[in-house]
Amino acid sequence: MISHPSAGSLAGTSVLFDLDGTIIDSRMGIIATIRQVLEELGHTPDPSHDLSWVVGPPLRDLIGEILKHYGDDRCEEAMACYRRLYETGGALRAPVFSGMRETISAIQNAGATLYIATSKPKILARSILERTGLLHHFREVYGARPDDSGAEKPELIASVLADHQIEKHHAVMIGDRRFDISGAHANNIRALGVAWGYSSEGELLDAAPEVIVAQPAELPGYVAQQLNAAKQHVHA
């Protein structure tokens, strides 16, 4: 039997969570919305066009990249269309990953303060968390502005740390994509990659999080392990 670390006390620590691909299973709703956007712009969605990567990057980046495939540069129009369609349809197709409700509760009950750091617009992220009954677990939700600016993970994570005066060895970031890992490392905090999300093959290994977690139930123990390790390596 494989032994996993136990959570213990997390009092005085802060745990930052990505949203899409970490807490909610949002890919099908996002892909369906992108196809609707393409149709509204007059394109026939190409079934051979791989869209498995679309969860994680800021909206402007992913829309711009998708439009290139169709020789289209109407990024602003496409983004406005996406926001309208996603908020009324795609966002409703975003169930919570099995086991994540219990995991979030366990980490909070162990004493940690929880935050969301997502590339989604903050208002939309709060709406999804409220609809799924998870919003009350998080002290604050950090996300992009309504125009999708401010969606880069290094800046989002830096804002969480600065706004709440969080010492870096008292915080960890949890996410499924390289953006989450690099954003954490840019702020000198430890990162936990989750294997149930939307990273491509080898992506998390290349991003080099401190640990890759296989199942939600294992997260509380690994969060405690990484926070304890961070405290042992505080630099003067």
CATH code of 50's domain: 1.10.150.240
Q: What is the pLDDT of residue 92?
A: 75
Q: Is residue 50 in some structural domain?
A: yes
Q: What is the pLDDT of residue 9?
A: 87
Across the range 6-33, mean pLDDT stands at 89
Confidence of residue 58 (pLDDT cuts 50, 70, 90): confident
Tell me what the pLDDT averaged over the chain comes to: 90
Q: Between residues 151 and 228, which one has the greater pLDDT?
A: 228
Q: Is residue 109 in some structural domain?
A: yes
107 shares its domain with 213: yes
pTM metric for this prediction? 0.84
Q: Is residue 147 in some structural domain?
A: yes
Among candidate residues 69, 92, 115, the one where a domain is terminated: 92
Nearest to 81 by CA among 23, 122, 30, 41: 41
For 198, the domain range is: 14-25+95-232
Q: Is residue 2 in some structural domain?
A: no
* CA distance linking residue 62 with residue 14, whole number of Å: 30
8 A C-beta contact, residue 66 and residue 34: yes
154 shares its domain with 222: yes
Q: Is residue 7 in some structural domain?
A: no
128 shares its domain with 177: yes
Q: Is residue 9 in some structural domain?
A: no
8 A C-beta contact, residue 38 and residue 159: no
8 A C-beta contact, residue 35 and residue 193: no
20 shares its domain with 105: yes
Q: What tens digit of pLDDT does each residue of 59-73 get?
A: 888 899 999 999 999
205 shares its domain with 113: yes
Q: Is residue 3 in some structural domain?
A: no
Across the range 106-112, mean pLDDT stands at 97
| 61 a catalytic residue | no
The total of structural domains in the chain comes to: 2
Q: Between residues 92 and 221, which one has the greater pLDDT?
A: 221
Q: Between residues 100 and 201, which one has the greater pLDDT?
A: 100
113 shares its domain with 220: yes
Confidence of residue 2 (pLDDT cuts 50, 70, 90): very low
Among candidate residues 59, 92, 125, the one where a domain is terminated: 92
**Any idea which of 22-26, 112-116, 181-185 has the lowest mean pLDDT?**
22-26
DSSP string, the chain: ----------TT-EEEE--BTTTB--HHHHHHHHHHHHHHTT----TTS--TT-SSS-HHHHHHHHHHHTT---HHHHHHHHHHHHHHTGGGS-PBPTTHHHHHHHHHHTT-EEEEEEEEEHHHHHHHHHHTT-GGGEEEEEEE-TTS-S--HHHHHHHHHHHTT--GGGEEEEESSHHHHHHHHHTT-EEEEETTS-PPTTHHHHH--SEEESSGGGHHHHHHHHHHHHHHT---
114 shares its domain with 85: no
Among candidate residues 66, 92, 118, the one where a domain is terminated: 92
CATH code of 185's domain: 3.40.50.1000
- Cα angle 141-10-105, degrees, rounded to a multiple of 5: 55
88 shares its domain with 55: yes
**Any idea which of 7-11, 52-56, 216-220 has the lowest mean pLDDT?**
52-56
Predicted confidence (pLDDT) at residue 226 exceeds the cutoff of 70? yes
Pick the catalytic residue from 18, 25, 176, 180: 18
